[in-house]
Structure 1
Amino acid sequence: MLRLNINDEISRLRSVVLGTAESCGPVPSPEEAYDPKSLEHILAGTYPREEDMVREMDAFAKVFEKYGVKVYRPEVIENCNQIFSRDIAFVIEDKLIIANILPDREKEVEAILHVLEEIDKGHILRPPAEVHVEGGDVMPWNDYIFIGTYTYDDYPQHITARTNKAAVEYIAEQFPHKKIKSFELRKSKKAIENALHLDCCFQPLGKGKAILHKNGFLVEEEYQWLVDFFGRENIFEITPMEMYQMFSNVFSISPEVVVSEQGFVRLNTWLREQGFQVEEVPYSEIAKQEGLLRCSTLPLVRD
């Protein structure tokens, strides 16, 4: 049996589900776009090609291999985009929560049944239908669980609003011993302003550091809470263009090792100055779908 264990974003990774770009289907129509950035690239004719995305994910898989991480991959569903495994489920402590995601994507959960079968059924949670949640909005951080949300009345009008108030309440009920800290995120039809998930504008790192983007947060006090929590001197503040490019969506294999996109020169330089080992991979094609390295992973076990 697989003994799940996730308490933070940075402890030494032992096993992970990494999505797949194989058979991800034709270029979607504008009406089929789930997010403003994909829509931009569909309209511009620059939507990523399958072979380029497969190559990028293979580079990421090689980094996991280098560090001895056990990697599970979803079964390939024909003509289905299965890159972003973080959306379909996430782990907190020893529980795996199946996300209630956009209905069109439910078959993606079926593609990881071979992983779920290795987990004690009592450790798999399926939230009720009114709970809308995606893993990109949920970050276990020691005593805390950080959750990105959008609770305004126009929630149903935003295809970019993925985690609702019911989700915050549900997670609080499941983990009563944790401190739940939720953050209202900015939702927009303009990709450069839209924080699709919490990990699009915030990412805690090892060594007490964090990446942050102020404009991703709707409530300044909530942004300020994170600044005070980590300390201004420990924060790498990203620009609107860097948020658009997904600078905060890096992935930690351990407190010292961060996987980052090779084009993030300003960030990667800073990370190395802080003493991190930076593993650079090409991921700029996948980024066109408003997701990057953290979005492509579903960590199962960290030490």
Structure 2
Amino acid sequence: MSALTRWWDSDVAWSWRHSPIAVLATIILVLLLIGAFGAPWVAPHNPFDLATVDLMDALLPPVWETEGTSTYLLGTDSQGRDLFSALLYGTRISLLIGFASVALAMLFGVVLGLIAGYAGGRVDAVIMRVADIQLSFPAILIALLIDGVARAAVPQNLLDVIAFPVLIGAIALAGWPQYARTVRGSTMVEKNREYVQAARVIGVSRYRIMFHHVLPNVLGPVLVLATVHLATAIITEATLSFLGVGVPPTSPSLGTLIRVGNDFLFSGEWWITIFPGVMLVLLVLSVNLLGDWLRDALNPRLN
């Protein structure tokens, strides 16, 4: 029996098949992922190739409007770029930043939470007090602070070069305490289990016990948290880009597209900001719905 067949017959797959909301969210998310990461092949235009952009096509409405054209299904922006293509490329950037920041936050938080929960004592107290202090501030403020410090310390001509690493690091450092607290609580329970006591008796090292025995048994809640955190990371990136401290204008994300379109919202060119906003809502909502379903599906008390 293949792994796919075994998964399809599992309780999680059964729960997914019998949850219309989870199925719909999965379909929407898969379509967005295909459109985003397949943008070079799916998008009808390359909105960032200046050789293909015509300023005479600027501010064209969607195809169903009177002045719309089938060449630009969702219209164009103030620079004549195809909005549908820009949405696909912008979604890809938002997803890449979201996935990278979640992976970094999860790595940092899981390691610290594992050490804090297993070591206990002063090590646990120091790590958790740092996490508590950081949790007392909104994540967006932490990200803004880190981004501002990095921009002040780097020469102006290098800002666009480091924009993506700084943004990913800022979002990751704002989100690691949640993983650390979750893993710490699970580790404190697991370290008193019989298999951990047996590993200690036969002389297994502390680090091998933590990373080879305890870690696999505490990853369930982490995966659920990572799914929910992905939506939060995308929103944080969009907020930072909307405020003008996110990705550079030459590689706009959904937040940047919304910020640019906001200047034209009350002048009649509503599509420039409405469509990026709708795309962002669909992306975040589908991820959140999947996260809620996964949390319920992996909770033994609800099964």
Q: Calculate the TM-score normalised by the size of structure 2.
A: 0.25
**Whose RCO is larger (CA < 8 A, sep 6+)?**
1
Q: Calculate the TM-score normalised by the size of structure 1.
A: 0.25
Q: Which has the higher strand share?
A: 1
